[in-house]
Amino acid sequence: MQFTKWQGLGNDFILIDGFKTTIHDYTQAAIAMCDRHFGIGADGLVTIFPSKIADFEMQIINSDGSEAAMCGNATRCVARYLYENGFTDKTVISLETKAGLIRPELIFDGSRIISVRVDMGEPRLEQCHIPMTGDSEKHCINQPLTVQNQQYFITAVSMGNPHCVIFVDDVQAIDLSDIGPLLENHSCFPDKANIEFAQIIDENTIKMRVWERGAGITLACGTGSCATLVASVLNHKTKRQATLQLAGGELFIEWASNNHLYMTGPAKEVFRGTWL
């Protein structure tokens, strides 16, 4: 089976051409292929299919075998892959995902692609859409949550997948490998959640670390960056556009007047190969 390995700010993915390749068990394939010791190594397995409602369909399976509804970094990688490999000559591409239609746009400097800008859609704040337990129409903004006798103040945002954002003075001081899975699996999140710890640098800059649902610590998270900007605006900490400083690099996020989130960042191919 032919594959290509891509990364967006170190958030890495194995891309499969679903037009030519059939995988009978995507869960087991993702677990095996994403293993960093015995496999190719990646945060997720992404397969591209034909779509009846968009230019293409994108399926994302996390490294633990669970399916992700959406992934911003994977979207950028897929868009550039499709264009550079002759699947389309469009520079604005529609992708069908479990979270709805996503539209990445290739940004050029002359003939060279320098970044990908993605319309990530609108954030959802109602607890029923996160989802969270409790009052379905209520918003969770700066609400206390106690884990192992430690109180955190959380803001919950859905970007097609659930996010829990926590503001702290120093993100590097957080033991993410310890608290991440406890928050991800907290009973208030029936479908689990992605966990973002955010540090405000100034009104246009946020430093963030992420524990991704189904993948653990990753170097970047596109939907998490969008959710973090939304949370920072709702908590009156930044303006509606900001640079997100992540372990793998920077993303520029804008919460526009049409209520859509726009994410701009890089996507790069790492290598190609054959899975035996």
What pLDDT, in 10s, does the model give residues 260-271? Answer: 999 999 999 999
Determine whether 221 is an active site residue.
Answer: yes
What pLDDT, in 10s, does the model give residues 165-184? Answer: 999 999 999 999 999 999 99
Mean pLDDT within 209-226: 96
State the alpha helices, DSSP H only, in 90-163: none
- Which one of the listed residues 77, 164, 188, 221 is annotated catalytic? 221
Mean pLDDT within 189-205: 97
What does the mean pLDDT of the chain come to?
Answer: 97
What pLDDT, in 10s, does the model give residues 70-102? Answer: 999 999 999 999 999 999 999 999 999 999 999
pLDDT of residue 6: 98
Query: What's the DSSP call for residue 78?
Result: H
Mean pLDDT within 208-215: 96
pLDDT of residue 180: 97
pLDDT of residue 54: 98
Task: Report the C-alpha gap between 206 and 98 in whole angstroms.
Answer: 28
Handedness of CA 109, 111, 116, 119 (dihedral sign): positive
pLDDT of residue 125: 98
Q: With bands split at pLDDT 50, 70 and 90, how would you rate the model's confidence at 45?
A: very high
pLDDT of residue 35: 98
Task: Report the C-alpha gap between 100 and 70 in whole angstroms.
Answer: 9
What pLDDT, in 10s, does the model give residues 219-251? Answer: 999 999 999 999 999 999 999 999 999 999 999
- Which one of the listed residues 71, 164, 188, 226 is annotated catalytic? 71
Q: Is 266 exposed, middle or buried (0-12, 13-18, 19+ CB in 10 A)?
A: buried
Among residues of the chain, what percentage have pLDDT more than 70? 100
Report which of 222, 245, 2 is spatially closest to residue 97, judged by C-alpha positions. 222
Q: Which two tokens stand for residue 44?
A: 């997720």
